[in-house]
Structure formats: structure tokens, C-alpha cells
A and B are shown apart, each in its own frame.
Chain A
Amino acid sequence: MNRKISRLRALLWLPIALASTCVAAQTVTTAPPAGRLLASNCFQCHGFNGKSSIGFERLAGESSNEIYKELREMRTKSRPDIMDMHARGYSDAQIRLIADYLSKQR
């Protein structure tokens, strides 16, 4: 009898426990956008999210393919300027992530 009651009590707690798990699950956040941290390497010269207004080219909202192509071309220049040299620091996959992220910024 006593054991039954305590089992019932335990069952009574179950929904509460489940509910709190659900609350915890609700606060689980969406993952940071892919490419954001990589692309932040551009922000020092091209502005936050590539929205430069005072410095080097604006990158936000440019076509992803265009950014990708340009960065890849820079890597093969024989007398590299500062950006041609910098572009050599990223793999094709990383350049793709950066280009995709910047192209989505408005």
C-alpha cells in the first residue's frame, strides 16, 4: 500500500519533470549561422557583415558565386597584394561558407 502510494506520487511528479524538460528544450537556441565566424575575418576591413560604408568594398548581398570566384582567383595572382595573400588562408569549402554567409546579408 505504502509502496503503491509512493509509486503513485512518483508518477504524479512525472508530468512536472517532463514539463520542465520541455521548458529546457524550448530555451535551446538555434545554432550560429554557418560561416558567420569565418566571415567575421572580413569585418575588420569590410565592415560588420560586409556592410562597409567607409573602407574597402561592400560585400553584403553580393552574389555568393561572385565572391567565391573572386576569392579563388586572388589565390593564384603571381604578385599578390594584401587581399590576394589573405585569400590563400582559406580552403575552397571555407571560401564557400564565407561567400554564402555574406551573400545573405542585407
Chain B
Amino acid sequence: MNRRDFFRLASMAGAGVSAAGLSGLVRAATPAQLGTVPTNTGISGRVVVIGGGMAGATVAKYLRLWGGTGVAVTLVERETTYASNILSNLVLNGQRTMTSLQFGYSNLATRYGIRLVKGDVTAIDSVGHSVSLADGSKLPYDRLVVAPGIDFDTIPGLETAAAQAKVPHAWKAGPQTTILRNQLVAMKPGGVFVMTIPAKPYRCPPGPYERACVVADWLKKNRAGSKVIVLDANPGITAEPLAFANAFNVVHKGVIDYRPGAVINSIDASTMTLNTNFGNLQANVINAIPAHRAGKVIIDNGLANVGGRWAGVDVLTYQSTAAPGIHVIGDAAATTQPKAGHIANQEAKICADAIVRLLAGRSPDPSPITNSACYSPITSDTASWLTAVFAYDPVSGSMLPVPGASGEATARSQDNYKEMFKWFNTLMEDSFA
């Protein structure tokens, strides 16, 4: 498929998807509400963005909104649409479809003048300031933003594609989410669903616990007598400890069997057996979420200078500490902030603001603030929430939680569940519309 086809597909997808993807909206925002790209900022430069997830889409949009028409932004993405990880646990209990979680890129092109390039990056030339694509073309840049998200380690026993399809992680929303949904539906009463949670840092800290709750809630109502065994590599619940301890011990008591400190030695997909420090466990469905590392483009281009897995950055600009002129945002970056879509959106704004200032010969904002917020469904009609605010600490050079400004809901509620969809719609609008 050539580039022109991609543009056509992207606009088609965008048209269909905005209606489907934002179907929960009472009404869509007008162009005046969304903002327009200014023409006379006097700032100019070429910025290439690799990756069109929450971070990449947002940085592309805000570079234009804040930098103006003189800042030429090219977004390189290999997929035609973005599949939201947020709310993808609700595909498992049938409350959302994968189609309703798709977001196209056509708004970014038509409303903000971002150039879309569908392609795979083969190399970054950090000295010559250009990105090479698989089709042989090169994209020169003054500033490069890399936002590839995460990749996964391989769990011993799951080396083949067939084994990975039988034991899905479903931790990147997409075909694996549908596989896991189908496996859940195929379970019989009295079945066993085992999920494994990797050691920190992983994408969306409350996400695995939320999934355990959503699956347990569905099984209780639809496959009586089934169990959810949660094997957590961490020493305890890593996010929303009150909400999830209550969910495991009270709301879903007798269904969820939570086991911290788990070690997964191997998984045999043919016998559906996990070899663990708790012995061998047999399951009807295994949802194994492997340990994470930054996306391949980070590792391949020498940007993974934190433990060989993550990209070190200066959080005033998100500039890589391994290569000048290259910025890394979102889940691939090694920061003190959680790996999650809401905060990736805010990191993108800090980065866009810094790049616009740098292109204008200014210094970055010396005291940025970011925030993380999310809602976690506990049942099919109740949710809890989590929020945190991070401020730049010049002593450590990192983003530290503002004391007293982090916390979780005191109790799950139906109001929270309804607010969750408002939050999702506005967050996706801020990133993709």
C-alpha cells in the first residue's frame, strides 16, 4: 500500500471511527472548541513524531496548536487506526466492542495540518537528523519525538506465535483482546482463569487488578463456580490498594484468589499449565502479561540507556539522555511517573511546549506539572478512581508526586462508573480529535 492509499484509508477510518469511537458523546466538540493552528508565531522547524498512540498523537497536535503553521509535523505510524488500551478490559465483559475503541488519524491531518506517513521505521540517524523508513524514504528533522509504547519479553514456553495466540497477554488492545474475550466466553461453569502480572514498571498500574475484577464479575454472573487466580510478580497490589483489596476480599470474595510474590518459570500452552513458585497450576484460560520494555525502535537505536530496557530522559523537555535532538515520551520513557495514557498525554504537552520554546531559542519551562487520573471498573456498573499530581524537583531532576495530592476513591460507586466514560471521551478528544 502506498502513502496516498494510507491517507484515503486514514480519512475513511477517521470518518467511520469518530462516529463509532465517540459514540458515547452527547455531542461532538466544534472546531472552535478544539482550537486552530495559528499562522504567525514566527516559530519554524521540522518535527518528526514516531508512534501515534496517546503520547504521539497528542504531541503532534499540540506542536501545531502551540507552534503554529511554521512547525512542520510529520507523524509516522504503522497502523491505520489507534486501538485504545483504556476501556479495553470492558471488551472482556462485553460492554465495549473493539470497534468502539478505534481512533483514526484523519482529524490530526485535516484539522491541524499534520502530515501522516504510514510506515515502519528502520533507523534513526541522530547525527544526520533523519529517520529512515522501510520503503527507503528518509524524513529529515530538526527535532524527533519517539513514542513507540512498549514491547514484551517472552515467557519461557510461549516462544511460538501459536502459543502466544493460545495464551494471550491482551495488554496491547487489538486482536488479542478479542481472543481473550472469546476464551472467557468459551469457559464452562467451575472453570479456572489464571492471569499473571509482571513486576513494575508495566503499563497502567491498576489495569491488571481492574481486569481481574471485570473478569470475576462476569464469571460470577455467567459461569458460576469459576475462579480467577491472580499471580502477581509484585509483593502486593501496586495501585489503588484500598479499592482492590476490598474488591478481592469482599466484592469478589471466593472468586478472586490473589497471590503476590509470584514467579512464573514457564507456561505450557498445549497442556494449559503454569510452572510457578506456587507449584504447577492448570487453567482453562491463561492470560499471561509478560514483563515490559520500551518499543523496539528505542532499543534498536541506542536510546534504551536505563537498564537496557527504557529511554532515559530529561523531564523538562523529554529529551533523550542518550542522543541530543531526540525526545522520548509515553510508556517508553524511564521516569518516576506511571506508564499510562492520561499522563502520556500530559508528558506530550510538556514536550510540545519545550520543543516550541527550543525552536524559538527559549529555555523550557523550569517547573512543569503533570497529572495522572483514571477510573477502574470493579463491577459492570461500579468503578473507583485514582489520581496523582507530579511536580518537577530540581534537586533530583525528576517529577515527584506532590505530597497530599495523590489518592484513590474512598469507595467504588456507580457515579464513578458513569464519570469514567466522560473522562475517556474527553481524554481521547484531547489526543485524537
Chain A interface residues toward B at CB < 8 A: 26-32, 36-38, 40-41, 43-49, 51-56, 79-82, 85-86, 88-90, 94
Contacts and interface: CB of A to CB of B under 8 A. Distances in A.
A81 to B, nearest CB: 8
The size class of the interface chain B forms with chain A is 35 or more
B29 A86 contact: no
- Among A26, A43, A88, A90, the one with the most B-chain Cβ atoms within 10 Å of its Cβ is A43
Interface in B344-373: 345-346, 349-350, 353, 356-357, 360-362, 365, 368-371, 373
B244 interface: no
Given A88-B402, A88-B404, A32 B373 contact: no
A82 B30 CA distance: 27
A65 B209 CA distance: 41
Nearest to B350: A37
Interface string B419-431: 1001101110110
Given A44-B426, A86-B371, A53 B29 contact: yes
Interface stretch (B7-15, B35-43, B121-129, B219-227): B35-43
Contacts, number: 124
Interface of B is mostly: mixed
- Among A29, A43, A45, A49, the one with the most B-chain Cβ atoms within 10 Å of its Cβ is A29
A89 B391 contact: yes
B349 A40 contact: yes
B42 A29 contact: yes
B330 to A, nearest CB: 14
B430 A54 contact: no
Interface string B325-356: 00000000000000000100110011001001
B95 interface: no
Contact of B423 (A28, A41, A45, A89): A45
Given A44-B342, A54-B425, A88-B389, A37 B405 contact: no
Contact of A55 (B42, B353, B404, B423): B423
B239 interface: no
A51 B28 CA distance: 12
Contact of B346 (A41, A46, A82): A41
Given A37-B365, A82-B387, A86-B371, A48 B34 contact: yes
Given A38-B369, A44-B427, A90-B389, A53 B30 contact: yes
Contacts of A29: 41-43, 360
Nearest to B404: A88
Nearest to A31: B362
Contact of A51 (B27, B33, B345, B404): B33
Top 4 A-B residue pairs of the complex, sorted by shortest distance between their CB atoms: A89-B389, A55-B426, A89-B405, A88-B405
Nearest to B385: A82
A3 B365 CA distance: 49
A41 B422 contact: no
A29 B358 CA distance: 11
